[in-house]
């Protein structure tokens, strides 16, 4: 019975479950994290990246990172081993205030800027930012500020009013500021005005403060506005700005995809990619190192995209799990995980901390997996309170392996890292489960499962196994699901514990048309193989059914 390294598949008939897939699993991976081999096991955990909260117990609105010159490192911190001459900094916005941390800091901590004031919107759970000219520029729909580490560097840099050196900062008729921001083609690009949602704006090349759309001496490098430019505004609200290359930016609409190719004032064009597929609002996208963009649409399908080609749907195997997703009530982020070679699909309730389910797509296996951080059910006990669910996230780069990790900012004010060596969710056991099967014959005969023999990894933790049989595969799967939801073994025909290495044979001797084996554990574990001894029940049993 092979481990389902190909992940979740919940759209086939129960009798036709594709090989090496599963109808139910949580907190598992095909590439288990201990040795990173494609053999199956529990997922890695999350740990505090820095042991202290960023700014009390306030939720984290934004995370980013930037490289700054070593000569302008904020705070007087001696960073060993920086031959490149620059230092990597993680930035965070919490309750409208700014904080930062330095990769390689001998005493990791969150630092304050020179003036510790509330600069950004505290009435929204999510703000967005972009890095340009070694400064952090923030869009929150209301305010205009940026952080400059080069001014007053030894005391934390300054958060400065973002004012226009030419022209006017883009706002709508209600004085609302942009909510979408990115750097592209040497310009600061913004969109997402509440009362002008179809419009986009780009600063002058190299200058995020120059928003003069009609200078006295026109040039290709001047600021440009979609509404008045040759390219024009979109025909519907803009939901995403995706910088692909220096020459191509993908613009997501409510139900369409567009591509701006070339500088808008130097022969650039805007081309329609799709008139049927849009992008969920915000940063519901990511990009891998190979040039593939991944995003979730407003219809809750997940797609891959190479600009110039049509989007390809990659979520078919889990469509029923996403179909009823209330997108407007969720903060949806996609985050590439370089070590795991896949991306996380974080789906976090915006109103308050909740028991949310997230997903991970393993690119190597084209496999989907479900994740729950510190809040899954085991033996009728609920762990966690939703505080570990990501509000903000960023793929950090750093000088150490513990810094080259995805970072997530949560409801409780901590920044945590998703790291392959973590064995718990910040101290909470990772409750993992996976359903293997069904074991059945092509002739639809009943079979006798005589015994099982499991082989786990040599350093694997123990796992609880349960065996379920039924007159159909659907009946057996439903019995298993009921037990997992209730934290019991009431419907199992056999149950026990397997430990590391090669286990003794487990006697079963139960017959049925379809058989599942379910593994659950609170320990880090890895899987090598499961051998099932079966025997046909013959014509008499066949007629009896």
Q: What is the pLDDT of residue 248?
A: 96
Number of domains composing the chain: 1
Q: What is the mean pLDDT of the segment spanning 176-193? A: 97
Question: pLDDT class for 27, splitting at 50, 70, 90?
Answer: very high
- Sheet order of strands, 248-253 included: 238-243, 248-253, 257-261, 269-274
Assess if residue 291 is contained within a domain. Answer: no
Assess if residue 498 is contained within a domain. Answer: yes
Question: pLDDT class for 81, splitting at 50, 70, 90?
Answer: low
Q: Does residue 537 have a pLDDT over 80?
A: no
Question: pLDDT class for 542, splitting at 50, 70, 90?
Answer: low
Domain that holds residue 18: 14-39+431-544
Q: What is the pLDDT of residue 189?
A: 98
- Sheet order of strands, 463-470 included: 25-26, 432-439, 514-521, 463-470, 494-498
Q: Of the candidates 11, 1, 33, which has an alpha carbon nearest to the alpha carbon of residue 371?
A: 33
Cα–Cα distance measured from residue 45 to residue 427, given in angstroms and rounded to the nearest whole number: 9
Q: What is the pLDDT of residue 541?
A: 53
Per-residue pLDDT of 104-159, as tens digits, reads: 888 899 999 999 999 999 989 999 999 999 999 999 999 999 999 999 888 899 99
**Encoded tokens for 466:** 């349960």
Assess if residue 21 is contained within a domain. Answer: yes
| Sequence-separated (6 or more) residues with CB below 8 Å from residue 46 | 373, 388, 408, 416, 417, 418, 419, 422, 425, 426
Assess if residue 535 is contained within a domain. Answer: yes
Q: What is the pLDDT of residue 154?
A: 84
Question: pLDDT class for 69, splitting at 50, 70, 90?
Answer: confident
Question: pLDDT class for 380, splitting at 50, 70, 90?
Answer: very low
Counting Cα atoms < 13 Å in the Cβ hemisphere of 396 gives: 32
C-alpha distances (whole Å) from 285 to each of 239, 303, 517 are 11, 9, 36
Assess if residue 464 is contained within a domain. Answer: yes
| Sequence-separated (6 or more) residues with CB below 8 Å from residue 178 | 139, 141, 170, 190, 191, 192, 193, 201
Q: What is the pLDDT of residue 540?
A: 44
Q: Does residue 377 have a pLDDT over 60?
A: no
State pTM to two decimals: 0.95
Counting Cα atoms < 13 Å in the Cβ hemisphere of 353 gives: 20
Tell me what percent of the residues of the chain surpass a pLDDT of 90.
79
Question: pLDDT class for 87, splitting at 50, 70, 90?
Answer: confident
- Supply the mean pLDDT for the chain: 92
Check: CB of residue 533 under 8 Å from CB of residue 450.
Answer: yes
Q: What is the mean pLDDT of the segment spanning 25-52? A: 96
**Beta carbons within 10 angstroms of residue 418's beta carbon:** 26
Q: What is the pLDDT of residue 385?
A: 59
Per-residue pLDDT of 251-297, as tens digits, reads: 999 999 999 999 999 888 999 999 999 999 999 999 999 999 999 99
Q: What is the pLDDT of residue 46?
A: 96
Q: What is the CATH number of the domain that holds 534?
A: 2.60.120
Assess if residue 450 is contained within a domain. Answer: yes
Assess if residue 525 is contained within a domain. Answer: yes
Number of helices (H), then strands (E), belonging to the chain: the values are 3, 41
Assess if residue 487 is contained within a domain. Answer: yes
Q: What is the pLDDT of residue 476?
A: 96
Q: What is the pLDDT of residue 82?
A: 65
Q: What is the mean pLDDT of the segment spanning 63-73? A: 85
Does residue 438 have a cis bond before it (omega within 30 degrees)?
A: yes
Per-residue pLDDT of 309-325, as tens digits, reads: 999 999 999 999 999 99
Cα–Cα distance measured from residue 188 to residue 130, given in angstroms and rounded to the nearest whole number: 8
C-alpha distances (whole Å) from 447 to each of 183, 240, 454, 469, 541 are 61, 53, 20, 10, 9
Q: What is the pLDDT of residue 72?
A: 73
Q: What is the pLDDT of residue 170?
A: 97
Q: What is the pLDDT of residue 538?
A: 63
| Sequence-separated (6 or more) residues with CB below 8 Å from residue 427 | none
């Amino acid at each position: 019975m092979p481990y389902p390294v190909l992940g979740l598949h919940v759209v086939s008939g129960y009798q036709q479950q594709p090989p090496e897939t599963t109808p139910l699993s949580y907190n598992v991976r095909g590439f288990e994290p201990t040795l990173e081999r494609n053999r199956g096991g529990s997922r890695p955990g999350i740990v505090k990246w820095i042991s202290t909260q960023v700014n009390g117990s306030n939720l984290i609105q934004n995370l980013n990172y930037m490289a700054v010159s070593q000569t302008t490192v904020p705070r007087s911190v001696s960073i060993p081993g920086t031959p490149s001459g620059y230092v990597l900094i993680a930035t965070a916005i919490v309750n409208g205030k700014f904080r930062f941390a330095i990769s390689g800091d001998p005493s990791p901590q969150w630092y304050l800027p020179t003036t510790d004031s509330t600069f950004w919107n505290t009435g929204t759970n999510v703000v967005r930012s972009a890095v340009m000219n070694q400064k952090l520029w923030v869009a929150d729909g209301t305010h205009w500020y940026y952080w400059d580490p080069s001014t007053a560097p030894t005391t934390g840099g300054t958060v400065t009013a973002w004012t226009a050196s030419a022209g006017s900062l883009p706002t709508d008729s209600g004085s609302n500021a942009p909510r979408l921001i990115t750097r592209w083609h040497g310009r600061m690009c913004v969109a997402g005005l509440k009362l002008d949602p179809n419009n986009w704006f780009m600063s002058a090349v190299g200058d995020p403060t120059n928003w003069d759309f009609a200078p006295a001496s026109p040039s290709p490098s001047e600021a440009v506005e979609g509404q008045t430019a040759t390219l024009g505004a979109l025909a519907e609200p803009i939901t995403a700005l995706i910088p692909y290359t220096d020459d191509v930016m993908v613009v997501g609409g409510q139900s369409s995809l567009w591509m701006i190719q070339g500088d808008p004032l130097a022969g650039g064009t805007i081309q329609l990619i799709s008139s049927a597929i849009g992008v969920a609002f915000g940063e519901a996208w990511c990009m891998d190192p190979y040039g593939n963009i991944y995003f979730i649409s407003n219809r809750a399908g997940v797609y891959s995209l190479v600009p110039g080609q049509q989007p390809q749907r990659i979520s078919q195997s889990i469509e029923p799990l996403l179909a009823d997703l209330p997108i407007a009530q969720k903060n949806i982020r996609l985050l590439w995980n370089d070590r795991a070679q896949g991306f996380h699909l974080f789906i976090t309730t915006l109103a308050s901390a909740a028991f949310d389910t997230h997903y991970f797509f393993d690119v190597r296996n084209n496999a989907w997996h479900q994740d729950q951080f510190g809040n899954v059910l085991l033996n009728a006990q609920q762990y966690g309170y939703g505080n570990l669910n990501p509000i903000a996230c960023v793929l950090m780069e750093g000088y150490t392996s513990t810094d080259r990790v995805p970072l997530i900012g949560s409801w409780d004010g901590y920044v945590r890292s998703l790291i392959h060596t973590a064995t718990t969710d910040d101290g909470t056991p990772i409750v993992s489960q996976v359903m293997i099967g069904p074991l059945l014959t092509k002739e639809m005969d009943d079979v006798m499962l005589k015994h099982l023999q499991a082989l786990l990894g040599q350093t694997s933790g123990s796992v609880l196994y349960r065996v379920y049989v039924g007159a159909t595969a659907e009946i057996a799967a439903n019995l298993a699901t009921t037990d997992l939801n209730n934290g019991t073994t009431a419907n199992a025909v056999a149950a026990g514990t397997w430990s590391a290495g090669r286990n003794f044979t487990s006697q079963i001797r139960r017959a049925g048309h379809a058989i599942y084996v379910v593994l659950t554990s609170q320990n880090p574990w890895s899987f090598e193989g499961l051998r099932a001894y079966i025997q046909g029940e013959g014509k008499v049993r066949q007629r009896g059914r």
